[in-house]
Amino acid sequence: MCGIIGITGRVDAVDGIVAGLKRLEYRGYDSAGVVTGDGRALRIVKRAGKLENLTGALAEQADGALSASTGIGHTRWATHGAPNDRNAHPHTDPDGRVAVVHNGIVENYQQLKSSLGDVRFASETDSEVVAHLVARHLDEADAPDLLTAVRRVVADLKGAYSLCLVSRDEPDTIVVAKHEAPLIVAHADGVGYCASDVAALIAHTRDVSALLDGQIARITPDGVEVVDVDGAPAKPHDYHVSWDLEAAEKQGYEHFMLKEIFEQPQAVHDTLLDRHRPDAGGGSPRLRLDELRIDERDLARIDKVFILACGTSLHAGMVGKLAIEHWAGIPVDVEVASEFRYRDPIVDKNTLVIAISQSGETVDTIAAASHARDQRSPVVSLVNVVGSTLAREADGVLYTHAGPEVAVASTKAFTTQIVGCLLLGLYLAQVRGRMYATETADILSRLQQIPDALEEVLGLDAEITALAERYTDVDYTMFIGRHSGLPIAMEGALKLKEISYLHAEAFPAGEMKHGPIALIEPGSLVIALAPAGHVFAKMVSNIQEVRARGASVLAIGTADSAAELKDHADHVLALPEPPHELAGPVLSVVPLQLFSYRVATLRGEDVDQPRNLAKTVTVE
Ligand code: F6R
């Protein structure tokens, strides 16, 4: 959460910073700010609210007032202190000598503030103390430079942070520090850059370096110097970004969310690409997950799996549980990552942990995975963002290859995560000898039909829009499902509430009669996941129960269940039969994504930037 960008060496850094902040706004939009320096003074402009408030304020500045070749910017997701102008970043020391922008939480900020004595703070943030501390260190007898002063400060910081600082006295220098919050640095054509995410840098370069925890860097127009906290040279993680600027644009869609919903056939195609083939030496084709890096013999010994994730990724993990238990025969627990390390999970070297995350930067998931690694459990991350912290820190990684996901509400990341889970389930079955090679090959070839089936589902958009128009003002929506329909019911409810702010909940359909059915009254909407399959008859009974109590029912069926559903539901959406029952969720979530999107836009909500949310959650 919070987005950081810094540029040094450009004729006008502010334009580049604002363009970068635009791409980082998904990380938080409570306020935005920028600071530049010309060697005489630091000049700051910052405003509460979305980036457009900052750009409006910048436009009011006298011509050239902020122009400089070095500057840093920030877009905020508030943690400490209300989202107002005062708490907006950048923050400075009382003399305006040093300015800082920060992503994360300095957990010991109160203690650090007290250590400064009787000093006035201009904001309620945890971040401001960093500027004060750096300024104090700059005054030390050995007259340290900004890099050295920052090194001395981070030695005392506790918590998660990526920090970016400029000093009035070092006009062409930006210093950054990273611990448990992402920070990318780069240098191209005489310009040095840093940002929370490559999306902000992609217009300038695709060759970047991710700083590792504990690393500090000095960025100048001449290059990037990376050191550790003791000042010794350090090596960041260098990589090349495979997607380009065009992929990060809206390409004519009204919102990123809609674009990303419609990108799902391609995204799933890319996730499945080239997974089944002979090895370099020939032989018969097998399912290959090249980046997994965990010895097949170790995987064959696994007797328990934990899937750890948050939000939408957790729902994908619930489908993963069904796939792994069904194909590989290993017991699987799916757990909210933020809970895992605060209890006493029983994990050891025979427990495989699968950590699922679009961003690979969700701090709860990273911390849970690292807790499991401390108990010697192998960790596989199922991640979209290449080079992200989770991808780097896990023993093995399976990339979803969904391309950049910008909308806060996750869509294509989710469907590709489910496909990733199916691949992992099949792979574990393969290494454990639970499946004939022909069986694996058959399922994999059937999964290749998903992109075409997704295109067919997307063709229902007009029908779904008409339904959304009808239910735009519904007070309460309950989503119900069984087996692989349950995670999709949960995901459908999450999508609806996060972008339309309508009250929505999901329940296992069989649980209704144990309490939740009391909520149903005339006017309630129930969305029921009812594909053909082994739980269909039970779903029909549950639909009848809610209808008998006055609810309107929208049933999401499949070609083989739709005709029967028409006798029981007010509306039926007939999806194509999935190529495998466990692939059904990849298709059935799409109408729910579209329904939520259409309801939210009809209600006039800001779909790509829903209130109180941010895309990458780097605080606990
Ligand atoms: C909802 C959504 C969130 C994320 C969650 C985890 O649409 O996007 O619930 O799924 O914050 O994020 P990642 O997958 O980046 O770990």
Ligand 1 pocket test: which of 383, 417, 494, 617 has the largest number of ligand atoms within 8 Å of its C-beta?
617
Number of the ligand 1 atom closest to the C-alpha atom of 385: 15
Ligand 1 within 6 A of CB of 173: no
Q: Which two tokens stand for residue 91?
A: 């923050």
| Positions of the chain with pLDDT under 50 | none
Residues of the chain with CATH 3.40.50.10490: 256-448, 458-602
Ligand 1 pocket test: which of 359, 411, 421 has the largest number of ligand atoms within 8 Å of its C-beta?
359
Nearest one of 229, 252, 185, 220 to 8, comparing CA atoms: 220
Q: Which CATH entry fits the domain spanning 3-241: 3.60.20.10, 3.40.50.300, 3.90.550.10, 1.20.272.10? A: 3.60.20.10
Place of tokens 């850094």: 13
pLDDT value at residue 475: 84
Instruction: Indicate the burial class of 203 (C-beta count within 10 angstroms; 0-12, 13-18, 19 or more).
Output: middle
- Tell me if 599 sits within 8 A of 471, measured CB to CB: yes
Say how far apart CA 306 and CA 62 lie, in whole Å: 57
Q: Which CATH entry fits the domain spanning 458-602: 3.40.50.2000, 3.40.30.10, 3.40.50.10490, 3.50.50.60? A: 3.40.50.10490
Nearest one of 617, 607, 609 to 357, comparing CA atoms: 617
Number of the ligand 1 atom closest to the C-alpha atom of 414: 10
Residues recognised as catalytic: 2, 615
Residues of the chain with CATH 3.60.20.10: 3-241
3-class DSSP state for residue 19? helix
Say how far apart CA 6 and CA 13 lie, in whole Å: 8
Q: Which residues contact 378 (CB under 8 A, 6 or more apart)?
A: 294, 298, 299, 302, 349, 352, 353, 395, 396
Ligand 1 pocket test: which of 1, 357, 366 has the largest number of ligand atoms within 8 Å of its C-beta?
357
Q: Which two tokens stand for residue 308?
A: 């750890």
Please tell me the distance between residue 399's alpha carbon and the centre of ligand 1 in angstroms: 16
Protein residue with least CA distance to atom 10, ligand 1: 312
Q: Which two tokens stand for residue 162?
A: 């990526």
3-class DSSP state for residue 233? strand
pLDDT value at residue 244: 82
Q: Which residues contact 182 (CB under 8 A, 6 or more apart)?
A: 103, 162, 196, 197, 210, 361, 388, 389, 616, 618
Ligand 1 pocket test: which of 26, 27, 313 has the largest number of ligand atoms within 8 Å of its C-beta?
313
pLDDT value at residue 252: 84
- Tell me if 549 sits within 8 A of 520, measured CB to CB: yes
Protein residue with least CA distance to atom 8, ligand 1: 410
Number of the ligand 1 atom closest to the C-alpha atom of 311: 9
Ligand 1 within 6 A of CB of 365: yes
Ligand 1 within 6 A of CB of 359: yes
Protein residue with least CA distance to atom 11, ligand 1: 311
> pTM for the complete prediction?
0.85
Please tell me the distance between residue 416's alpha carbon and the centre of ligand 1 in angstroms: 13
Number of the ligand 1 atom closest to the C-alpha atom of 312: 10
Please tell me the distance between residue 410's alpha carbon and the centre of ligand 1 in angstroms: 6
pLDDT value at residue 74: 98
What region, left, alpha or beta, does residue 9 occupy, with left being phi > 0 and alpha being psi -120 to 50 degrees? left
E strands, 256-378, are 276-279, 282-287, 304-309, 332-336, 351-357
- Tell the CATH superfamily of the 256-448 domain: Glucose-6-phosphate isomerase like protein; domain 1 (3.40.50.10490)
- Tell me if 43 sits within 8 A of 58, measured CB to CB: no
- Tell me if 316 sits within 8 A of 309, measured CB to CB: yes
Ligand 1 within 6 A of CB of 362: yes
Distances (CA, A) of 53 to 1, 48, 56, 58, 84: 19, 7, 5, 9, 12
Please tell me the distance between residue 313's alpha carbon and the centre of ligand 1 in angstroms: 6
Please tell me the distance between residue 387's alpha carbon and the centre of ligand 1 in angstroms: 18
